[in-house]
Amino acid sequence: MAAPTLQQPSFLLANLKADATTKPLFQRCQDLVKIIDDYPAKMFVEIWLHHYSLEMYQKLQSPQVKEPFSPTEEHVLVVRLLVKHLHAFSNSLKPEQLSSSPSAHSHAHTSPLEEFKRVVVQRFVQQKLYLFLQHCFGHWPLDASFRAVLETWLSYIQPWRYTGEKVNPQPDQNRTVPDKWASFVQENLLMYTKLFQGFLNRAVRTDLVNAKNALMVFRVAKVFAQPNLAEMIQKGEQLFLEPEHVLHHRQPRGYLTPTQGGSYLSSRQRVVTDTVFRVKSHVYALEGQDCQYKQMFGTELRGAVLKLIQIIAQARQTAKRISDHSIEVAANNSFLSWFGFGSSDLNNTFVGAEPEETGECVKKTHEFLDRALDNLCQIFRLNSGQLNQLISNLGSSQDEVNSKQLPDCIQGENGLILTDLGRRQIMNGLRRFEVEYQGDPELQPIRSYENALLVRLFYRISSLINERYGGHMNALCSRPDLLGRLGRHYLANPDSASRLRKSPTTRWTLQRHRQPRLSLRLLASYRTLLMLVLLYLLGALLSFGPVSCTLLILFGGFLHGLLMTLFGDKLKSH
């Protein structure tokens, strides 16, 4: 059945004119106010959420759909703005109207505007926004752009943020959700429980070492950890799981009118029964009569939360390892490294760490994950002993061992193929491949600590020397005696690339680079140039001429190479 179309104002006003002879003036005024109130809300919902009627959503889920609807980030931000404005509009309801019992008498004295404020969110937004968010949770990429969807969801489930009331400045975690919002939580139960399950499914597949992703986990945990909110959700689940009453079989599904409930029931029984029916009708309207409801605080979802806690703990350890590595790199790049005490490895990078995931961002990641753990323990009532046991099961020593192993793979025709577990290990930085540059070292990009002109000049000089004396170099490095070892030390090592594991595609490309060759690129480094200048200045202070200084530097280099050739293997073993 096609979704109902939006009627134009001219058509509605024409109907109003037709009723001019049959309805009294007061009733016509009320109808006019209702048209003025209803139409903008319907129009905005149809513009931004028109794909999310139940029929259209089911059609989009079909695998036969060739062009599925994919909302943009700007689209989601506009929907969030609509949600915030509708919450603010709905919360402008007078306190006496908000707290009055939903009886026929009270509705008789309620203006159309006040009645519209009462039902605008539930009637026009709830179903389409639920399907919209569910679609985004299932199809949005696993990156930081999901923040827009997340904040839209959190804005909807926190209407108390848009009341306009001035609250005492106090920490967010101490702000208790007022009891008057229990009915909203119960009538939007799936917005809290089902979408929380959807977020869990995303979180366990997300790289939580990234500070932006860690922030999203912290935001959700912080919202659900607000005092009194978890109790309201549990109460809503208890109401939904109440056994069916006899009255339920006599009344049709759907939202109940205020007069339903039966005069033979007591007032308290009628209120409880109406609340149970409202919760059940909400769930059945969004998920259907045959839905299999999973409790947010049930055993299955609790296990998923414990799995997320373990992943958070792993991400914390990885963030700490990245932070420690960044400190070591910063120390190696200090002023002393200019004198040769730092690492000169061009491949000295930490695989898995993005440029923004160092320094302060890593500290923020650790802070967000710590606070998310505390909030999750508060929501699901995990004590510190249970948390420590979960974290200790990981084992820091096991994590160190895993970091040196390859990710989980299976052997294929052309080499190793990553499994889903292996991809998750790489995303969370638990394991990594040893990726090193396997091309010609002379053709690597010019670094910021190198002089571009000198790099190109020395490359041409070394290329000419290698072409002319390549055969002599090869013969020298092939000798097993001391001269051969000295040659292999000073010339580019032909066996360095062969020690690495190579895929079938790249094996043949390395053959041409295995010839010994002279490399002068080290002389183009600013560090090397500074050291040479300082050595020449020191020689000048000691009354050595340029030629004498050059000979001393060459002799020192030869002596260093000789010592490294004789005792280098012993030093490496120690």
pLDDT for 131-148, tens place per residue? 889 989 988 998 999 999
Q: Encoding tokens for residue 572? A: 């490496």
What is the per-residue pLDDT across 309-349, written as a single tens digit (0 to 9) for each?
Answer: 989 988 888 888 777 777 766 666 554 455 444 444 444 44
Greater pLDDT, 73 or 123 = 73
Residue 25 is given by DSSP the state: H
What percentage of residues in the chain have a pLDDT greater than 70? 64
Burial 543-570 (b: 16+ CB within 10 A, else e): ebeeeebeeeeeeeeeeeeeeebeeeee
Among the residue ranges 37-41, 187-191, 459-463, the one predicted with the least confidence is 37-41
State residue 17's pLDDT score.
52
pLDDT value at 519 more than 90:
no
State residue 414's pLDDT score.
78
Q: Encoding tokens for residue 502? A: 């190579």
CA–CA separation, 422 and 469 (whole Å)? 47
Task: Give the chain's largest Cα–Cα span.
Answer: 118
State residue 385's pLDDT score.
76
pLDDT value at 26 more than 70:
no
Greater pLDDT, 214 or 361 = 214
State residue 223's pLDDT score.
96
Most confident range, picked from 32-46, 465-479, 508-522: 465-479
CA–CA separation, 526 and 343 (whole Å)? 15
CA–CA separation, 38 and 268 (whole Å)? 33
CA–CA separation, 171 and 151 (whole Å)? 20
**3-state DSSP assignment of residue 254:** coil
Write the CB contacts of 7 (distance below 8 Å, at least 6 apart in sequence). Answer: none
End-to-end CA distance of the chain: 79
Among the residue ranges 74-78, 302-306, 428-432, the one predicted with the least confidence is 428-432
Burial 34-57 (b: 16+ CB within 10 A, else e): bbebbeebeebbeebbebbbeebb
pLDDT value at 544 more than 80:
yes
Burial 381-400 (b: 16+ CB within 10 A, else e): ebeeeebeebbeebeeeebe
Of 136, 166, 165, the closest CA to residue 153 belongs to: 136
State residue 518's pLDDT score.
87
State residue 376's pLDDT score.
93
Residues 305/200, Cβ–Cβ less than 8 Å:
yes
CA–CA separation, 49 and 131 (whole Å)? 9
pLDDT value at 386 more than 50:
yes
CA–CA separation, 77 and 67 (whole Å)? 22
pLDDT value at 475 more than 80:
yes
State residue 295's pLDDT score.
92
State residue 528's pLDDT score.
92
Residues 229/179, Cβ–Cβ less than 8 Å:
no
State residue 351's pLDDT score.
41
What is the per-residue pLDDT across 190-225, written as a single tens digit (0 to 9) for each?
Answer: 999 999 999 999 999 988 988 999 999 999 999 999
What is the per-residue pLDDT across 90-108, written as a single tens digit (0 to 9) for each?
Answer: 888 765 554 444 444 444 4
State residue 527's pLDDT score.
92
Q: Is 471 exposed, middle or buried (0-12, 13-18, 19+ CB in 10 A)?
A: exposed
State residue 68's pLDDT score.
59
State residue 427's pLDDT score.
76
Of 81, 3, 5, the closest CA to residue 43 belongs to: 5
Burial 153-188 (b: 16+ CB within 10 A, else e): bbbbbbbbebeeeeeeeeeeeeeebeeebbbbbbbb
Residues 118/187, Cβ–Cβ less than 8 Å:
no
Among the residue ranges 139-143, 170-174, 361-365, 561-565, the one predicted with the least confidence is 170-174
Q: Encoding tokens for residue 435? A: 């990726």
State residue 370's pLDDT score.
92
CA–CA separation, 237 and 293 (whole Å)? 9
Mean pLDDT value across the chain:
75
State residue 460's pLDDT score.
93
CA–CA separation, 504 and 488 (whole Å)? 27
Greater pLDDT, 293 or 573 = 293
State residue 55's pLDDT score.
57
State residue 106's pLDDT score.
44
Greater pLDDT, 10 or 514 = 514
CA–CA separation, 96 and 91 (whole Å)? 12
Of 227, 284, 217, 230, the closest CA to residue 253 belongs to: 284
Of 437, 416, 432, 409, the closest CA to residue 352 belongs to: 432
Q: Encoding tokens for residue 258? A: 């205020």
State residue 394's pLDDT score.
65
Taken in order 277, 280, 285, 286, is the CA torsion positive or negative? positive
State residue 397's pLDDT score.
44
Residues 411/425, Cβ–Cβ less than 8 Å:
no
**DSSP per-residue string spanning 377-407:** HHHTT--HHHHHHHHHHH-HHHHHHHHTSPP
Of 7, 172, 9, 148, the closest CA to residue 83 belongs to: 148
What percentage of residues in the chain have a pLDDT greater than 90? 26
What is the per-residue pLDDT across 254-290, written as a single tens digit (0 to 9) for each?
Answer: 444 444 444 444 555 666 677 888 888 888 888 888 8
Mean pLDDT of 558-570: 81
Of 301, 45, 338, the closest CA to residue 193 belongs to: 301
